Amino acid sequence: MPVRIAPSMMCADLWRLAEQVHELEAAGSDLLHFDLMDGRFVPNMPMGLGVLEALRPHTGLPFDVHLMVTDNDFFIERLLPIGVQQIAVHAESAVHLDRTLSLIRSHGVAAGVALNPATPPTALHYVLDRLDFVLVMTVNPGFAGQTLVPSALRKIADTAAFLRVQGRDIPIAVDGNVSFEHIPAMVAAGADILVGGTSSVFHPGASPAANIARMRRAIAEGLAQRQEVRP
Ligand code: DX5
Ligand code: ZN
């Protein structure tokens, strides 16, 4: 499957968000990643439901929502009428994970599970049939601008291997410090969706368009390495 780029909207210029969305669309973004936090599951709250609602009419790009909240179902119920295309909930916060994934899917929205750095891919085992994608956190969730956790690349590769063995060919999204330098190794390890924040899409000093073009070159490098490993 082609590797997709998902700009992390909490890292965008929030004063001119609609304009920035148009720039990202023109630059070839594949989807827009929205980090919704409640100040409890993670100690931060950069944007709320109203921002997604306000932006929805301005773009046709799919909305990819990453919930970092304690009450997932509350947010899911409110996201559905806005019109989002995929929602990931954290395995660590969803008490009734199976039911929550079914809820997302029953409305025709792609359901994903996000895994904190310490959570193994085997946490997905009994919900594989309910799952459309996996979101591997390569930093501890909540804040932009962090450094990759040491286990990140191994975790991506282990998740890819786990899904392969289980016969589930679903995309692996990676989120956190997805930098130009890390992208080749992340893609070689099996990343299919790259969430780009301050490390790439919104890297200071260049436009999102120039940064996305640079990401595409890094992706090509990673795909070549992936083929060398698995011809
Ligand atoms: C972390 C967020 C990420 C973050 C990634 O909780 O989910 O989307 O913004 O951005 P950088 O590239 O700054 O790590
Ligand atoms: Zn995220």
DSSP letter string over 21-76?
A: HHHHHHTT---EEEEEE-SSSSS-----HHHHHHHGGG--SPEEEEEE-S-HHHHH
Residue-averaged pLDDT of the chain: 97
Average pLDDT value for residue range 104-118: 98
Q: Which helix (H) or strand (E) holds 88?
A: strand 86-90
Residues in the chain, total:
231
Q: Which two three-digit tokens encode residue 27? A: 């630059």
What does the alpha-carbon distance between residue 161 and residue 81 come to, in Å, rounded to a whole number? 36
Average pLDDT value for residue range 126-150: 98
Average pLDDT value for residue range 18-33: 97
Residue 118 CA to ligand 2 centre (angstroms): 16
Domains plus CATH for the chain?
4-229 (3.20.20.70)
What does the alpha-carbon distance between residue 91 and residue 74 come to, in Å, rounded to a whole number? 16
Residue 100: pLDDT above 80? yes
Asked whether 7 lines ligand 1 (CB < 6 A), one says: no
At position 126, the amino acid (one-letter code) is: Y
CB within 8 A of 181, min separation 6: which ones? none
Give the model's confidence band at 230: pLDDT under 50 very low, under 70 low, under 90 confident, else very high: low
How far, CA to CA in Å, does 103 sit from each of 32, 38, 78, 100, 110? 22, 20, 12, 5, 10
What does the alpha-carbon distance between residue 97 and residue 92 come to, in Å, rounded to a whole number? 9
Asked whether 225 lines ligand 1 (CB < 6 A), one says: no
Asked whether 10 lines ligand 1 (CB < 6 A), one says: yes
Helix H segments across the chain?
17-26, 49-55, 72-79, 97-105, 152-165, 183-189, 208-229
User: With b meaning 16 or more CB within 10 Å and e meaning fewer, what string describes 56-70?
Assistant: eeeeebbbbbbbbbb
Asked whether 146 lines ligand 1 (CB < 6 A), one says: yes
Query: Atom 12 in ligand 1: which residue has the minimum CA distance?
Result: 197
Residue 229: pLDDT above 70? no
Give the model's confidence band at 148: pLDDT under 50 very low, under 70 low, under 90 confident, else very high: very high
Average pLDDT value for residue range 111-120: 98
Query: What percentage of residues in the chain have a pLDDT greater than 70?
Result: 99
**pLDDT tens-digit readout, 154-201:** 999 999 999 999 999 999 999 999 999 999 999 999 999 999 999 999
Query: What percentage of residues in the chain have a pLDDT greater than 90?
Result: 97
Average pLDDT value for residue range 48-73: 97
Residue 231: pLDDT above 60? no
Ordered strands of the 172-175 beta sheet: 4-7, 193-196, 172-175, 133-137, 110-115, 86-90, 63-68, 32-37
From the CA of 141, the nearest ligand is 1
- Residue 227: the pLDDT is 79
Query: Atom 10 in ligand 1: which residue has the minimum CA distance?
Result: 197
From the CA of 204, the nearest ligand is 1
